[in-house]
Structure formats: structure tokens, C-alpha cells
Amino acid sequence: MELFPGVFETEWEQRKAALLHERSLLNRRFADEDELRRRGGVVPTASPLPGSGAGRFGFGKRIGIFARAKGQGHASEPSMRSRFAGLASGSQPAVVKMASFGGGGRLGAMINYVSRNGRIVVENERGEQLKGRDELPAVRGEWDHVMKNRAESRDIGAFSLEVKEPADPAADVYEEARRLLKRGLGERSFAYAVTPHDDGNGYLIEGVAVLRDREGERLTGDKKASEIVQGRLGGEGAEQEGKMTFCFFGYGNGAAYGSSRLRDLVDRHHGAVQDDSGNAIADATQAGNLVQLEWRDQLHSRKPRDLMHVIMSARAGTDVQAFHAAARDFLAQEFIGHRYVFSLHDPSQDPKAEDAGGKRPHVHVHAIVAMRSDAGDRIETTIPAFRHWRVTLAEKAHAHGIRMEMTDRRERASAAAYTRNQVRPTSRAGRTQHEGTSPAAQRRYDAKRADGQSIARREDSRIYSYSARQEWLTLARKGQDSDVRQFASDQIKRLKSVASRIKSVEREGSGNGNSYSQFRINLVKLMKVVSEGETMRHMTRQEFEVYEKRVERALFQAQRVAPGEQRKSFEEIATAAREHVNVRRELMELRERSVPPERDGERAVGEQNDDPRARWDDAVSRHGLRTVEAANQVMLEVERYRDEIEKAESGKRDSQKATLEAGLQREIARAAELGAAGNTLIREIAEVDEELRVAIGRAEHSRDGRNKSKATGMRSVDTPAEVNEDIEHGDGPARRPADAEEERDPADPDRARQERFTTRAADTTRTDSAQQHISRLEEIQREADEKREQDRDERER
């Protein structure tokens, strides 16, 4: 069959012919493939198409004639300026509503609704007209292959638990019932009521429970689930079943079912209902709030989405036949390859009575569309897709002589739409009147009906609104007539009003605290500043004054942005911080009184003098030049190996790590031998180097063993050989300070490379007094502990 689309007069007829031709090709291809399989041949696999989704193959909706048909007649979105000009001159907005979704089982009910039970003609995607209750059921058979018919989830279950043992008179029967239900239902939310038996032997618990627990296990709410709960209650065996009996007697989907069941329970028990936490549920409002606000997120509810109900509307007085044709073209373009039926509801021809919801005062078209196409593609239902639908409907309306434009509510700062779940109808006389199902829903409904203004919250929406405002300004200056300019000026006033409200909200937010975030940031800064005083062992007066100013500045910054409801708590924090500063001041003043001025000045100068040359000189003055040089030489090698090991670990060079660790152990052993031989600088370093301290202990133990194996007549004084051994290890007898002063060489060029290890011993002292040496070791240990605590604090921050 050769196809000539040009022989058809209207576009939808061309699309119909293209669709029928494509399906005939597909059917022929499938028949050829079946014949090839029967003969034992190999059927070639279809390859994915460019631009199609994963798993979609060569007969998708965007190939061949389908792709050409979709491309024909499709225009890009009109400019904002042209749309605004059309609206200002009287064009109506394009309205495409997504009314609802449904499963395959609701196809018959949905078609009956749009066809007024067969009294209105229904047209399908092929242009065939169906009317009467005899023709409509045929649609079900044609659509069956694109229906998944997935069952909806079981979210809420109604249950009863009969306890046949008498309750403890001293115990609360609700508390006892709650304990039993938690044992049987586990980590599930529920609400229940208790009715004691008339004879006093036991009681009956009735309730509603969420069937899915917090770990994802879902009960089915049927006989099998009842047996599971019965087993958890310890009800196995005839004897136990005689004591208590659990039974699910109903289940349903969604929060609406749960709200209905719980309200019925509250009504039957006159408000004597509690939830799983023991909170009372006294009326229907509390029951609805419990389900909607607390249980809804636990349901993980799902419903089948095989069908989609779409409504296209036009203003009263619009040409009925022209809008019918525009809707037909719209459906043919947007839902090509999908099954759909649609019908026109004209108030003059609607057989449904007005008080029953019929004869609406404007023309509109209902369409029932299958979500899956014959090729397996699903319709995209996103905000950009809805916008594109409005563009297409406006385009088709223009083609049939109807002035219609696509609109975006941000262009006029219009209020958001309300959903059918947020309102209930109260009057159908003329335009349907509704009331909100909650105070928030009522406010939303009132704002939409009154054409109220809406503030854009997101940054991209604000940018879009600003662009719209600029286009309205241009139209207000260059409009063709006064009516257009006046309309544009009205929209500018709306957008300016919204812009001023946005600025006031932003000022309010900054005035309230940049609110809590900035307040928390300043509190963290305050905590860090206050804790700095803990890391300083001794503060001079100058250091303390700087510290005090920083604390006060941090307090001022936090107080300036503190929210009103946090003022009282902040005052307590500020009082505690100032008390801490006062304690530091007292410690500083106490030290000033206890330390002589000259010694304190020397200490301050010593602490401020952090020059490596000064530290080297200090170490030489306390230990002697040879001792420092010998210790420095071996410890430089130790630190070099440690640095190389760290680099190897960070660079994941495992092959080099073993060699480096062996070299490190060799150099630590050399340093330990020096320490065991009496090198005092090595021993001081070992006070803060655990690995070196352990190695020195081993070396001393080995040295003691060697000494015991020597002749017992060893002299107690050093022999020349021992002296030579000491010299060979770079150590020597203890020197007097005068000897050390003679050996000092301030111009020694090797000091720059040796500053690393003299830092370890820079703040130590050495005297010949044993008691002072012990005190010094305690001080070194204390400083090491403080350093570890500081490192731990830094990691925790």
C-alpha cells in the first residue's frame, strides 16, 4: 500500500492515515518474523534508536512516519512579547488540566463518566465515533495489551484483638492493650479502642494499623497476616488461641482510606481512642491529622497508573466546533502512538443535570489516554511537559480561529492552583463553588478564586518574573492601543507589588537573624575564641587583653543576630563566657604576683624568642656540643625515614614501605644505643617519643646483659676503652656549664639543618639536682599530655 498523506484535507486525518499505515507495517513485520521462527530461522534483534530510552528498539514512536508526523506542524514556544500582546488584546489562556490517574480496572468507569454513560459521542485516536453502552465495552479489549493492571498497595488494615482473660483491676486496660499490640504488630503505627466484656472476662480491642513497618516489612491485612500476628502474640496452639484471638477484617489503600477508618473508630467509641504512644484521639479532626501528618510518610503507598484523565477548557462563548477540532489535533500530536478516547462537553448539549455536575458554563473536552503506547513508551507527566501541552493547544486553537495563548502563572504572579483533594464542592449552580478540606486548603482556594498574588520562592522563578516584568514594561510603552497599554500597566503593578513583598520578607529575615543559621555560626565562633584560653599555659597581660577583646567581639556579633526567642538562652551563654574570662584574669594576676618581675620578663622574652639559632644555643648550653651534634645527626635520619614512610602511605607505594620501615628501625636502634649510653638529649626526646623510649629500654636491658657477662673485676671508673667507646658514639662525660660555654660556636654553619630536633628540647632545663631533674621529667610528661589533648580537640572540631 502506497501512502499519499496529501489527499487528506485535515491534519488529524493525515496523522490517522500515517498511524494506520505504520501499524500495518509493524503487523506485517511481526508476521514475517513468526514465519521465520517457525521455519527455524534467526530473527535479527532490533537495535536501540538514537535518542530513545534504554531498552527501546527500532519501532519506537519517534521513527519513520511517526517522527515525520510529529515534526510536521510543531512550532517552538512563542516569544513572551507576542504572547503578552495577545493576552492584552483579549486572547484567552490555554488550559490543559491533569485531572487524575487510574488503573486498568477503572477504564470502563472513566469512559462512562466522559460519555455520560454512553449518551455523548466518544471518539478514539483513529477518528472512529462510539456511542451507546453497547459500543463502549469494546474499548477495554483493544486496550488490554497496554494495561499493566498492577494492584494497588495495601497500606492500612483494620483489626480486632479479643482477649478472653480478665484484666488486672489495678492496671490500666489501655496500657495493657497497647503492650499486646506492640508485641504483635511490631514497629508499626496504630490506633485502638478498648471495650470490656459485659461479664468482666476480658475485653475487645478494635483498631487501625499501618501495614508497613519502619524497616519495610508489609503485612497483607488478610488471613495469612492475621496468623503471623497471632503467632507473635504467642497464640500457637488451642490453649493459647483460647486466651486471645487476632484478626484483620479489612484493608485499603492510601491516607484517605486510613482517615475514613480511623474517624469511624473514633465516632463509634465516642473519642475513647489512643495511638501507639498513648496520645488521645478525641475527634475526627485529630484522627485526620494523625493519618495525614504522621502516618502518610510511613505508607509508601502506590497506585496503578495505566490511564490518564486530561481536560482541555475554553472560555464560555468559544466556538464549540472549532475548539473540538483544536482538541482533536492537540491529542493527535501529543499522544501519537497512544490509545485514547475523548468527548466534547457542551453546556447546551450536556444530558447531565446542572445540580448533578453537568452543564458547566464553558465548553471543555475530556480525554482518557493510555499511559503506555503500543511500542511501550510512557507519557511524561512533568511541569515542562504540561507547559508544552499548553503551547500545542494554543497553536491548534490559533489554527482553527480561536485566540488563545500559553500562560505561566509567574508572568502575572498568580496564585497556585488547588487540587481536587484540597476542596469539596458545595454548590454546582453555575460555576461550581467549593470549600477547603483544611484551613490551608481554604486559603489556597480563596487566593485562586480571587486572583490573588503569589510570591516566587525559587531564584529561577524570580528571574523569570523579572523578565516578564520587563516585557510588560515594553508593552506598556509601545502598545498598539490604550487598552493594551492599560492591561500591561495593571500587570506591572501586580509584579511590583510582589517584588516589594519579596524585599520586605528578605529584610524581615535578615533582621530576624539571618535567622538561626547566622546565629549558630556566631555561637561556634564564640566557642572557639573562648576555648583558645585553655590552650595557653600562661598568659601575659598583653596576651590576656587581646584574648578578652576577641571574646567580647564574638559576644557582640552573636548578640546582634540572636533571634528574639533565643535571647534568654544567649544571655546565659554570655554570662558563662564572661565568667570564664574573669577566671583567666585572676590566674594571670595571680601569676604576676607570684613571679618576680625580672624572671617573668626573662620568661616572656624566652617564649617570644622562637628563633632556631636560639634554641640550638639553649640545647648546647644544657647538654654540650658533642651530645647535641650526636643526637641531632641520628634523629635527623629517624625523622627523614618517618617522612618518607608518610609519603609512601599517602602515595600508596607499598613496595617501598617495607624497606623504609626497616631503615627507620635501624636508625631508632642507633638512637636508642646513644640514649642508653647516657646521651641526655636523646633521653629528653624519648620523653615525648614513645617509640624511642621503648627502644632505649630494650637497649638498656641488652647493655645490662652484656655487662653481666664481663669479668666481675670491672672497675667502677671509666677505663680508656670505655671512654673511647663513649667518644665513638658521640657522647662524653658530663660537662660543667663552663666547659659547655667554651665549646659553643655561635657561627656553626650546621645549625640551620639541625634546628628540627633542638625544637624538641628547646624548653627543657638541665641541672645537677636529682630532685629538679625529676620535676623536669614531670613537666615534660605534662606538656606531652597537653599536646595530645590539644591534638584530640582539634580532630573533634
CB distance 334 to 122 below 8 Å = no
The whole domain housing 53 covers: 5-70
Q: What is the pLDDT of residue 199?
A: 81
CATH number, domain with residue 162: 3.40.1310
Note whether 613 and 760 are same-domain residues: yes
CA 211/CA 298 separation, integer angstroms: 9
Higher pLDDT, 51 or 532: 532
CA 402/CA 86 separation, integer angstroms: 12
Note whether 521 and 573 are same-domain residues: yes
How far from 466 is each of 48, 77, 111, 414, CA to CA, in Å?
Answer: 43, 19, 44, 14
CB distance 400 to 326 below 8 Å = yes
Note whether 625 and 757 are same-domain residues: yes
Is residue 3 over pLDDT 70? Answer: no
Q: 83-92, 446-455, 546-555: which has the highest mean pLDDT?
A: 83-92
Note whether 772 and 650 are same-domain residues: no
pTM of structure: 0.53
The reply to whether 103 falls in a domain is yes
Q: Where are the beta strands (DSSP E) in 462-558?
A: none
R_g of the chain computed on alpha carbons: 44
Judged on CB neighbours under 10 Å (0-12, 13-18, 19+), 233 is: buried
CA 158/CA 250 separation, integer angstroms: 5
Task: Cell numbers for 157, please give them.
Answer: 488494615
**Structural domain count of the chain:** 7
Question: End of a domain among 392, 407, 422?
Answer: 407
Nearest partner of 610 among 480, 758, 494, 395, judged by Cα: 758
CA 115/CA 534 separation, integer angstroms: 81
pLDDT in tens, 304-357: 889 999 999 999 999 999 999 999 999 999 999 999 999 999 988 888 888 888
Note whether 475 and 551 are same-domain residues: no
Longest dimension (CA), the chain: 133
**Cβ count within 10 A of residue 429:** 8
How far from 297 is each of 155, 277, 303, 582, 654, CA to CA, in Å?
Answer: 11, 17, 15, 52, 50
CA 375/CA 56 separation, integer angstroms: 8
Note whether 288 and 321 are same-domain residues: no
The reply to whether 414 falls in a domain is no
Nearest partner of 203 among 276, 272, 267, judged by Cα: 272
**Cβ count within 10 A of residue 207:** 24
Note whether 736 and 774 are same-domain residues: no
DSSP annotation of 713: T
pLDDT in tens, 356-393: 888 888 899 999 999 999 888 999 999 999 999 999 99
Q: What is the pLDDT of residue 581?
A: 83
pLDDT confidence tier of residue 783, bands split at 50, 70 and 90:
low
Q: Where are the beta strands (DSSP E) in 20-139?
A: 92-93, 95-102, 122-124, 129-130
Q: Let me know the angle formed at the C-alpha of 372 by 367 and 377, rounded to the nearest 5 degrees.
A: 125
Query: How, if at all, do strands 404-405 and 92-93 pair?
Result: parallel
pLDDT in tens, 397-418: 999 999 999 999 999 889 888 8
Task: Cell numbers for 95, please give them.
Answer: 488550559
Note whether 117 and 51 are same-domain residues: no
Q: What is the pLDDT of residue 195?
A: 92
CA 638/CA 64 separation, integer angstroms: 76
Note whether 559 and 661 are same-domain residues: no
Note whether 191 and 278 are same-domain residues: yes
- In single-letter form, the type of residue at position 710 comes to K
* Helix residue spans in 55-157 (DSSP H): 64-71, 80-88, 107-114, 138-143
pLDDT confidence tier of residue 290, bands split at 50, 70 and 90:
very high
Task: Cell numbers for 366, please give them.
Answer: 475530556
Name residue 245's beta-bridge partners. Answer: 162
pLDDT in tens, 188-225: 999 999 998 888 788 999 999 999 998 889 999 999 99
Question: End of a domain among 603, 631, 647?
Answer: 603
